[in-house]
Each structure stands twice: as structure tokens, then as C-alpha cells.
Chains A and B, each alone.
Chain A
Amino acid sequence: MIGFLQNIGRTSLAFLAAIGRLVLFTSSAIRWTFFPPYYLRQLGRQVIDIGYYSLPVVGLTTLFSGMVLALQSYTGFARFSAEDTVATVVVLSVTRELGPVLAGLMVAGRIGASMAAEIGTMRVTDQIDALDTLSTRPMQYLVAPRILAGTICLPFLVLVGDLIGVFGGYLVGVYRLGFNPSIYLARTMEFLEISDVTLGLIKAAVFGFLIALMGCYHGYHSGRGAEGVGRATTNAVVSSSILILISNYLVTALFFG
């Protein structure tokens, strides 16, 4: 019985310690984003890596999601003669939900993993300690630019993803389902509001922040050796994916109605 209680106590303490470590890490990362020196080259490198090199994967994901959405919603709505709403359903689903979430999950797999692996490797090869000895704060040099770049880039990626996703729906609607192109476009714009797009972009900024934070956090606290870096990479992808889904609900609930 005592052993059981000890286990519960130990697990609870470890959990609380992990939460505390994450909170300290997050506050330190945010704090160092606003203080000089600013590592603009590092920021630029991350913006290119996250924003530019993620475009193909985000574009392909949203394109096919928009296409599938058009097909599926047509199948469903045809059952009660509401085929005309396909364009509206596609644009609202993509901008409010699918665009940010799918882009977030894809970027979490691509960028979260690479950040954790890069920083984790720097940790196990003493490069982070070397930064300290070379008058450079690792939080400021490694973490702050990545978090800033993640938060800035995801909304742009999602905006592009939204356009491609809606275009995917248009392709299927016009060339497969036989909608008139002008009517499809008119329906797309008819019920779309600015708030639908901005909600998606706010979500994207939150997701970008979380992806970069998890990638940096797990890499920074990576265990020794290849196994430690591997585990950090997996944890970064899993934790950022879960946080994306949780924060997706929270942000939607916050702006609901």
C-alpha cells in the first residue's frame, strides 16, 4: 500500500515538475524575444524554413482536402436537395477549421520534429553549452527566433492553404460535379465573412507558437545519445499535435457565436 502511494506521489511530483519546467521555459522564451540582441539572421532562416519550405506540403494537403470536402458534401447535401450549398460549406470548413488544423498538423510533423532534432543534437554534442561559453544566451539565439518565426509564419501558410483548399473545391465542383464556375465563385463569396478567415489565422498563430515551443522545449531537454534525440523528436510531434487539437477547441469556443 505504501509503495502504491509512493508511486502516485512520485508521478504527481514528476508531472508538476514537468509543468513547472515548461512554464519557466515558455516565459523565458517569450521574454528573450523582446530583448536585444535580436538574431535577425536566425529569424530569417527559420522564416524560410517554416514559411517557404512548408508550402508544398501544406498546399498539397489543403488542395486534396478541399477536393474531398466538395465531393463528400455534395454526396450528403444531394440527399435533401441542398447541392447549392457545397461551395459555402467548402469555404467555411476550409477557412475556419480544416486549413488551420491540417496545416498545423503537417507543420508539426515537419518543423516540430526538425526543431527538436536540431536543438537536441546541439544539446548532446555540447553546442548549447558552447553557446553559453561564447557570450550567447541559447534561449535568445536558438529558441526565441524559432518561436517568433512559427507564430508569424503559420498564419501566412494557412492563408495560402485556404486559397488552395477553396481552389481544390472549385476544381471538383466545376469539373467533376458540373457547377457553373461563376455561380460556384459567387456562392463561395456569398456567406464568407472576414471573421471566418481571421478566426483561422488566429488559430494558426496559436498553433505556430505551440509547434515551435514544443520542438524547442523537447530538443532543449533532450536526453543523451541518439535515443534521447529520437525520443525528443517523437515527444515534440506528439505533444504539439495534441496541443493543436486541444487549443483548436479552446480558440473556437472563445470566439464562438
Chain B
Amino acid sequence: MTTTPKIVMQGVTKSFGDKQVLRGIDLEVAPEESLAIIGTSGCGKSVTLKCLLGLLRADGGSILVDGVEMIDANRHQMEAMRQRFGMTFQFGALFDSLPIWENVTFRLRQRQTLSRTEARHIAAETITQLGLASHVIDQFPAELSGGMQKRVALARAIADKPEILLFDEPTSGLDPITGGVIDSLILDSVRRLGATALTISHDMASVRRIADKVAMVHKGVIIWCGSASEMDNTGIAEVDQFVHGLADGPLTLAAQAEARGE
């Protein structure tokens, strides 16, 4: 029996002025699968994620979520669809002016009437699951370390129990130990929610820990997609160079700049 994919992207294109960033992204993610998208800086990974969420409107192609076309969705359809997503951003994107408990329960409070006590209770429960002390809920984002901010961002993404989780560079800027902790929290949260996950990462150790499947974007297209266990020896020079972090290979700095249209 074949499983209907949760997310299907076909021939997705996106340009900014004369610069074509996505030249035809083809991707499939099965329900409860964890896919990592890798690639050099500026290759179009974040743009792919933003097109999926409708934060950027793709120029062409097709994006299906549970079989529903998102490319030509109107604002209301898009807003309804976004409620099924949870996302963490590269630098947390926590709201500076709000304490942690309000950050964590932000979406819940938009969608339902929650008393202050209920919201604080939910926030405390969620961040405790992620290894933070409950008193942190009264602090502000600027008072927390980078690792703690990533956990709060994760708490905010999962508080509403979304079906699809998107992670943009979840371990960037963290030391390897904290990065490892964040990875295991992501894995744990994704499994507990039964969610489908898409992660953008440069961190290959992190990708190995959290991904079932890996896709590499290069020059705006997916040049390889396979299981995480296969990525060490794909036979594609660009993928092998990136995965093993080799200085020599086709992905020279000049080639990367050219791929970014610089």
C-alpha cells in the first residue's frame, strides 16, 4: 500500500527581479517523515520553506499539502493552512516585547480565549518538557541564552500541536552539546506529535540525527534526494563534497557565488 504524501512540491520556481532562486523544486514528504534540506548558503533552501508556508508566493509549479493546492490559494485558505504548521526560525524570531509565556502561547491565545492563568500553565508545561525551568516563563527573550531561545522557539512551534513542523537552521550558532540537545528535543517533539518535519540545516551531524530523508538543493533544484543512511556515498560530486565538508570539489566559493547569481 502506498502512502499519500503529506507535502508535494513540483516544479516550484521563484525569482527576485532578474535572479531566479528556485528553478524547479521537486520534493515529496510522507506523513510523519522527517526530511532535511541541505545545500550551500543562498542556494534557495529558506526560499523553498517560505514558499511552502506562503510567506513568499511561488512564481510557478505546484505545492500540495494533503492534496490541497497552495500556490493559488487565497488569503483565507492560506491562513487556514498555516494553522497546521509550526515553524522555528534561524534566530528564534521570539517577540522581544513579550515575556516567554506570551511568546509560547501566542498562537493559542489568538485562536481561543485563554485566561492568563491557563496560558501561563500551558507555557510552563511546554517549556518544562523541553528541559527549561518553569520560572523562565516570566523572563524576556533578551534575558535568555541562544540555546534557551531555541528551546522557547521550539516550545512556541509545538504548543499548538501542529501537523507539520518546519525548522530553519535549528542548531546554528549553538555549541555541539547544546545542538545535540536541541536535536533530541526536536526528534522527541516530532515523534510525540506524530508530525511531519522539514528541516533546513548546514549542520551534517544534526541532519544525521534528525532526518529520515535528505534532499540537497543546488542552483535552485534538488540534485539528490535519498535516505539519510545513503547520503555518505551518493556518487554525486556536489553532494559528497557538501556532506563530507571537503574543500576540494565542484562547490568552490566562486561556483557558489555564481549559483547565487552574484
Name A residues whose Cβ lies closer than 8 Å to a Cβ of B. 37, 121, 125-127, 129-130, 132-137
User: Does B53 lie within 8 Å of A127, measured CB to CB?
Assistant: no
The residue on B at minimum CB distance from A134 is: B107
The residues of B that contact A132 with a CB separation of less than 8 Å are 53, 55, 82
Task: Give 1 or 0 for each of B107-130: 1 = CB within 8 Å of chain A CB.
Answer: 100110000000000000000000
* Cβ-closest chain B residue relative to A39: B110
B30-65 interface (Cβ within 8 A of A) = 50, 53, 55
Once the chains bind, are B89 and A130 in contact (CB under 8 Å)?
yes
Partner of B107, one of A37, A126, A127, A135: A135
* CB atoms of A37 and B82 under 8 A apart: no
Write out, one digit per residue, whether chain B residues 49-88 have a CB within 8 A of any chain A CB (1) or not (0). 0100101000000000000000000000001001101110
In the bound assembly, the distance between CA atoms of A26 and B10 in angstroms comes to 36
Given contacts A134-B107, A134-B110, A135-B107, contact A126 B91 (CB under 8 A): yes
Given A134-B156, A135-B110, A129 and B79 contact (CB-CB distance below 8 Å): no
Q: Are A133 and B91 touching (Cβ within 8 A)?
A: no
Given A126-B93, A127-B93, A130-B93, 7 other A-B residues pairs in contact with their CB atoms under 8 A: A126-B89, A132-B53, A132-B82, A133-B82, A134-B107, A136-B107, A137-B79
Determine whether B95 belongs to the interface, using a CB cutoff of 8 Å to chain A.
Answer: yes
Chain B residue with the shortest CB-CB distance to A128:
B93
Query: Are the C-beta atoms of A133 and B87 separated by less than 8 Å?
Result: yes
Which residues on the A side are within 8 Å of B111 (C-beta)?
135
Contact with A along B228-246 (1 / 0, CB 8 A): 0000000000000000000
Q: Is B256 an interface residue (CB 8 A)?
A: no
In the complex, whether B106 has a CB less than 8 A from a CB of chain A is yes
Contacts of A134 in B (CB 8 A): 106-107, 110, 156
Please provide the 8 A-B residue pairs with the shortest distance between their CB atoms, ordered closest to farther. Answer: A130-B93, A126-B93, A134-B107, A126-B89, A133-B87, A135-B110, A127-B93, A134-B106
Bound complex: CA of A126 vs CA of B55, how far in Å?
11
> A133, B85: Cβ atoms under 8 Å?
yes
- Bound state CA distance, A135 and B87, in angstroms? 12
Bound state CA distance, A121 and B50, in angstroms? 19
Show 28 A/B contacts (Cβ-Cβ < 8 Å), sorted by A: A37-B110, A121-B96, A125-B91, A126-B89, A126-B90, A127-B96, A129-B55, A129-B89, A129-B93, A130-B89, A130-B93, A130-B94, A130-B95, A132-B55, A133-B55, A133-B85, A133-B86, A133-B87, A134-B110, A134-B156, A135-B82, A135-B83, A135-B107, A135-B111, A136-B106, A136-B107, A136-B110, A137-B79
**Residues of A contacting B106 in the complex (Cβ-Cβ under 8 angstroms):** 134, 136
Q: Which A residues are CB-close (under 8 A) to B53?
A: 132-133
Q: Is the CB of B95 within 8 A of A127?
A: yes
A137 CA / B106 CA spacing, docked (Å) = 13
> Nearest B residue to A121 by beta-carbon distance?
B96
Q: Which of B82, B93, B110 contacts A125 (CB 8 A)?
A: B93
- C-alpha gap A37/B109 in the complex (Å): 12
Docked complex Cα distance between A56 and B94 (Å): 32
Residues of A within 8 A of B87 (CB): 130, 133
CA distance A37 to B110 in the complex (A): 9
Contacts of A130 in B (CB 8 A): 87, 89, 93-95
CA separation between A134 and B79, bound complex, in Å? 9
Bound Cα distance from A137 to B76, whole angstroms: 11
Contacts of A37 in B (CB 8 A): 110
